Amino acid sequence: MLILGVESSCDETGLALYDTEQGLLSHALHSQIDMHAAYGGVVPELASRDHIRRALPLTRHVLETAGKSLQDIDGIAYTQGPGLSGALLVGTSIAESLAFSLNLPTIGVHHLEGHLLAPLLEPDPPEFPFVALLVSGGHTQLMRVSAIGDYELLGDTLDDAAGEAFDKTAKLLGLSYPGGPAVSKLAAQGQAGTYQLPRPMLNSGDLNFSFSGLKTAVLTLVNQQRDTLDDTARANIAYEFQEAVTEVLTKKCMDALRKTGMKQLIVSGGVGANARLRERLNEAARRRHYHVHYPRLEFCTDNGAMIAFAGAMRMQQKMQESDHSFTVRPRWDLAELTKP
């Protein structure tokens, strides 16, 4: 079964072809980062317009790369939410109209289910059940994943997401958008011991997170240092910030594995690309004989492959039927996917 996947929830247009026998055949991405950089963040209206420009050329591209034609496709999966409503509408309308004209079934995929399943696209994927850390621009959640579509929320952020904290810290340090990669690059030049930042909720006893206080602590440091905030000081702050975030994330992942009695962790979402986070998780897991699975770096952030894959899994298991009527779901709780 050959599935075309369409992702357009935010500032990346992603297309991909996933075959349930042969795996991922092709994928292509256009990132709007450069376009939004001048504004310091995503401008929704610009995002929608750009998705319109990119979606069909990228569709042609993935078909050509895979040596397939439209007639070979068996179904179309697209991100139905959550995300920016205008951006979602573009991918949704293109997918639904293409499917209508080709008489194909469609499947509206939850963007976070896409992120969550992305590590399963790699060789030697984990078997169910496992614990998932979903750590992206908009979410920081720990989940028990028992099967496709069976997700139990174990912990969540009470305020900012980890990626959001990276982005806001980057802004405070005068770095470019998106902040995660920029902060981690600067942190590599920083040193331990110069500054102290809090580890929010490290010992809260539950699996929840909170990152907004950390960002405020960075703001206070930056304000205190205003006259002496040279490159060394900025690098040291970035270093300490990254240590604080990755320490909390690592501790809570280990707690989640211990509490659930599971031995496998998967990490997905943009912050999952962070090298220091991977280093800490791998080290902590190694000591406890746990296994950690990640997506390849390019599939940590938004992409079409994860949507094609999640859609293919759902279609294969006949979990969803479509009638070509459609709505986007800008707000959509992943837990709603689990049928009682």
Binding residues for Fe cation: 111, 115, 302
Stretch that binds Mg ion, among 4-12, 97-105, 202-210, 320-328 (CB under 5 A): 4-12
Phi, psi of 270 (to 5 degrees): -55, -40
* CB 121 to Mg ion: min, Å: 18
* CB 289 to ligand ATP: min, Å: 27
Cβ(161)–Cβ(138) below 8 Å = yes
In the DSSP assignment, the letter for residue 70 is G
In the DSSP assignment, the letter for residue 298 is G
Q: Does 306 bind ligand ATP (CB under 6 A)?
A: no
Q: Between 130 and 294, name the residue whose CB sits nearer to Mg ion.
A: 294
Which residue lies nearest Fe ion, judged by its C-beta? Answer: 302
Q: Does 7 bind Fe ion (CB under 5 A)?
A: no
Residue count, binding to ligand ATP (CB under 6 A): 22
Q: Does 302 bind Mg ion (CB under 5 A)?
A: yes
Reading the block at residue 113, the tokens are 């289910």
Q: Between 149 and 269, name the residue whose CB sits nearer to Mg ion.
A: 269
What binding mask, one character per residue, do residues 54-93 give for ligand ATP by CB under 6 A, x or -?
----------------------------------------
Pairing type for strands 264-268 and 291-293 reads parallel
| From Fe ion, Mg ion, ligand ATP, none, interface partner of 179 (C-beta below 5 to 8 A by class) | ligand ATP
18-24 CB contacts, 8 Å cutoff, 24+ apart? 18/305, 18/308, 18/309, 18/311, 18/312, 20/312, 20/316, 23/121, 24/121, 24/305, 24/308, 24/309
Residue 250 vs residues 170, 267, 272, 274, 293: alpha-carbon distances, Å: 21, 11, 11, 12, 14
| From ligand ATP, Mg ion, Fe ion, none, interface partner of 149 (C-beta below 5 to 8 A by class) | none
Q: Which of residues 12-41 bind ligand ATP (CB under 6 A)?
A: none
* CB 16 to Fe ion: min, Å: 15
CA angle 332, 335, 337 (to 5 degrees): 80
Among 27, 36, 51, 139, binds ligand ATP (CB under 6 A): 139
Among 302, 310, 312, 313, binds Fe ion (CB under 5 A): 302
First-to-last C-alpha distance (Å) of the chain: 28
Reading the block at residue 235, the tokens are 């690098």
Q: Which of residues 167-226 bind ligand ATP (CB under 6 A)?
A: 167, 178-181, 184
* CB 67 to ligand ATP: min, Å: 29
Cis before 105? omega within 30? no
Q: Print burial letters for 177-196: b (CB count within 10 Å at least 16), e (below 16).
A: bbbbbbbbebbeebeeeebe
> What single letter denotes the amino acid at residue 106?
T
Q: Which of residues 274-293 bind ligand ATP (CB under 6 A)?
A: 274
* CB 7 to Fe ion: min, Å: 8
Among 108, 126, 137, 200, binds ligand ATP (CB under 6 A): 137
Give the footprint of Mg ion on this chain (CB under 5 A): 10-12, 302
Give the footprint of ligand ATP on this chain (CB under 6 A): 10, 111, 115, 136-139, 163, 166-167, 178-181, 184, 269-271, 273-274, 301-302
